[in-house]
């Protein structure tokens, strides 16, 4: 057995590898510098082009570019009519923004539990948490694996709820052959550097519904309209005239970010293919490691995975998750944990949420960690990660 680096042995590799990393090439840099040399650095042609590109790629009728994924979720909730006194059902195994967006609107996030195999929100648990005050469901395609769209759609139709899909992880994924972005009432994307496609920061919202689209456009730019048809006091006083008809925000994306995202999107098919290749290599390598449990996709999902999660079966190991994680770090494979259940955070605890609300999510959380997954990884990187996982498992295996 190889001696662990944390116990003084040699690490599996000399340079650190991290769980996620952007891939910016010369074409991306050129696209950004072209904008910086042009007349418009914000709200120009590149934002329009990106919105068209995203709508075409996802098959959605409309797309609105915004400053980040959190802004996307906020205006999605506003467009859905979420307000004070309402409840919004989401998953606890997500980034905090999936729940914070309800709080921004004065509404209450309600946490439904997850499926123990897919780690995605369990439609039956959504159903169990519906009250008269429920207004929307924010379903997260965790790691890029599609949620049970048909089941969630049926529940939302039955109870007249707005189906918001938090697809921050899932650009490039498809459900029953339809791209994520065209499925829910409103879909939100993020272009943070760890996500599959990046703009530094950036986000977008897609929808097939004109009414939602008009609201999304309004909310992302101060609630101000230049469209006479939307104005109360038209005919207006002159070409300068506009009206503020809602309380909106400045959630606009710059043109240089839009150019970067559009340039990145041209590489999305390649990014997806490489991510899928790495996922397959990991799946095969860990299939016969009983201490490692793997996330399962539903058969309907063609997943463009943003994260690869291993779940430790801690009953079969002599170490804690923390010790496993630290041993991986010493091997120079820097993992991460996605995510601490949202309602465990002090802010949520102060709001009155208690631990134990979603036992499945809490149980899954105990054993999970994300290992490196990004398209620029070489075959050798992938090999190193597999080597490190197996080495650490062997050293901590019980019996
Ligand atoms: C990253 C992320 C967000 C927020 O996106 P930002 O662009 O960072 O604001 C929302 N939800 C999930 C699930 C995310 O991973």
For residue 129, how far is its CA from the centre of ligand 1 (angstroms)?
A: 24
**Three state DSSP letters for 11-66:** CCCCCCECCCCCCCCHHHHHHHHHHHCCCCCECCHHHHHHHHHHHHHHCCCEEEEE
Q: Where are the alpha helices (DSSP H) in the chain?
A: 26-36, 45-58, 69-79, 97-104, 123-128, 149-159, 210-219, 255-265, 268-286, 321-330, 346-350, 359-367, 379-396
Model confidence at 236: pLDDT above 70: no
Model confidence at 235: pLDDT above 80: no
∠ at Cα 117 (114, 121), nearest 5°?
20
For residue 232, how far is its CA from the centre of ligand 1 (angstroms)?
A: 36
CATH of domain 5-21+268-396: 3.90.1150.10
Which residues share a beta bridge with 370?
A: 309, 336
- Give me 356's structure tokens: 């134990």
pLDDT score at 229: 87
d(CA 274, CA 276): 5
Share of the chain above pLDDT 90, in %: 95
What is the per-residue pLDDT across 131-149, written as a single tens digit (0 to 9) for each?
A: 999 999 999 999 999 999 9
What is the per-residue pLDDT across 74-98, written as a single tens digit (0 to 9) for each?
A: 999 999 999 999 999 999 999 999 9
Under a CB-based contact definition with an 8 Å cutoff, are residues 179 and 149 in contact? no
Kindly indicate the confidence band of residue 358, based on its pLDDT and cuts at 50, 70 and 90: very high
Average pLDDT, the chain: 97
CB of 94 shorter than 6 A to ligand 1: yes
Kindly list the domain boundaries of the chain, sorted by start residue: 5-21+268-396, 26-265
d(CA 44, CA 22): 25
pLDDT score at 240: 86
Kindly indicate the confidence band of residue 239, based on its pLDDT and cuts at 50, 70 and 90: confident
How far from 367 is each of 123, 288, 317, 361, 372, CA to CA, in Å? 23, 18, 11, 11, 17
- Give me 137's structure tokens: 């469901």
The ligand 1 atom nearest the CA atom of 192: 7
Pocket test for ligand 1, best of 20, 98, 220, 339 (most atoms within 8 A of CB): 98
Length of the chain: 399
CB of 197 shorter than 6 A to ligand 1: no
For residue 90, how far is its CA from the centre of ligand 1 (angstroms)?
A: 14
d(CA 288, CA 295): 14
Under a CB-based contact definition with an 8 Å cutoff, are residues 43 and 51 in contact? no
Which residue's CA is the closest to the ligand 1 atom numbered 6? 69
Surface-to-core class of residue 314, CB atoms within 10 Å of its CB (0-12 exposed, 13-18 middle, 19+ buried): middle
Asked, as a colleague might, if the bond just before 398 is cis with ω within 30 of 0, I would say no
What is the per-residue pLDDT across 109-119, written as a single tens digit (0 to 9) for each?
A: 999 999 999 99
The ligand 1 atom nearest the CA atom of 201: 7
pLDDT score at 249: 98
d(CA 23, CA 176): 29
For residue 24, how far is its CA from the centre of ligand 1 (angstroms)?
A: 20
Q: Sort strands 186-190 and 162-166 into parallel, antiparallel or unpaired.
A: parallel
Same fold? 5-21+268-396, 26-265:
no
> Closest Cα to residue 81, out of 280, 215, 233?
215
CATH topology of domain 26-265: 3.40.640
Kindly indicate the confidence band of residue 232, based on its pLDDT and cuts at 50, 70 and 90: confident
Per DSSP, the three-state class of 292 is strand
Which residue's CA is the closest to the ligand 1 atom numbered 7? 69
pTM greater than 0.85: yes
Model confidence at 296: pLDDT above 80: yes
Share of the chain above pLDDT 70, in %: 99
Model confidence at 158: pLDDT above 90: yes
CB of 169 shorter than 6 A to ligand 1: yes
For residue 295, how far is its CA from the centre of ligand 1 (angstroms)?
A: 20
CB of 189 shorter than 6 A to ligand 1: no
CB of 187 shorter than 6 A to ligand 1: no
């Amino acid at each position: 057995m190889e001696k662990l680096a944390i116990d003084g042995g040699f690490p599996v590799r000399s340079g650190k590898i991290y769980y996620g990393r952007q891939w910016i090439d010369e074409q991306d840099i050129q696209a950004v510098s072209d904008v910086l040399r042009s007349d418009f650095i914000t709200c120009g042609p590149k934002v329009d082009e990106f919105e068209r590109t995203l709508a075409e790629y996802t098959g959605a009728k409309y797309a609105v570019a915004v400053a980040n994924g959190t802004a996307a979720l906020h205006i999605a909730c506003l467009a859905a009519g979420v307000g004070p006194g309402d409840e919004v059902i989401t998953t606890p195994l997500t980034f905090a923004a999936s729940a914070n967006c309800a709080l921004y609107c004065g509404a209450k996030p309600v946490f439904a539990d997850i499926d123990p195999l897919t780690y995605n929100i369990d439609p039956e648990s959504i159903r169990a948490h519906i009250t008269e005050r429920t207004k929307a469901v924010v379903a997260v395609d965790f790691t890029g694996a599609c949620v049970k769209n048909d089941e969630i759609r049926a529940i939302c139709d039955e109870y007249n709820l707005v189906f918001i899909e938090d697809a921050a992880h899932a650009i490039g994924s498809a459900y029953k052959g339809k791209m994520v972005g065209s499925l829910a009432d409103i879909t939100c994307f993020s272009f943070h550097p760890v996500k599959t496609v990046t703009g530094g920061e950036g986000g977008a919202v897609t929808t097939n519904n004109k009414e939602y689209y008009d609201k999304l456009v309004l909310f992302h730019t101060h609630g101000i309209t230049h469209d006479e048809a939307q104005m109360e006091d038209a005919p207006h006083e002159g070409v300068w005239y506009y009206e503020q008809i809602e309380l909106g925000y400045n959630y606009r994306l710059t043109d240089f970010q839009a150019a970067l995202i559009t340039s990145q999107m041209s590489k999305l098919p390649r990014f997806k293919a490489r991510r899928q290749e790495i996922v397959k290599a990991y799946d095969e390598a860990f299939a016969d490691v009983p201490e490692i449990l793997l996330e399962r996709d539903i058969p309907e999902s063609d997943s463009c995975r943003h994260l690869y999660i291993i779940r430790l079966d801690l009953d079969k190991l002599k170490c804690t998750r923390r010790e496993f994680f630290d041993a991986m770090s010493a091997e120079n494979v820097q993992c991460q944990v996605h995510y601490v259940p949202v309602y465990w955070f002090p802010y949520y605890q102060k709001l009155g949420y208690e631990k134990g609300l979603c036992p499945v999510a809490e149980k899954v959380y105990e054993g999970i960690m994300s290992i490196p997954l990004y398209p620029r990884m070489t075959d050798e990187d992938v090999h190193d990660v597999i080597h490190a996982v197996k080495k650490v498992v062997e050293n901590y295996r019980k019996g």
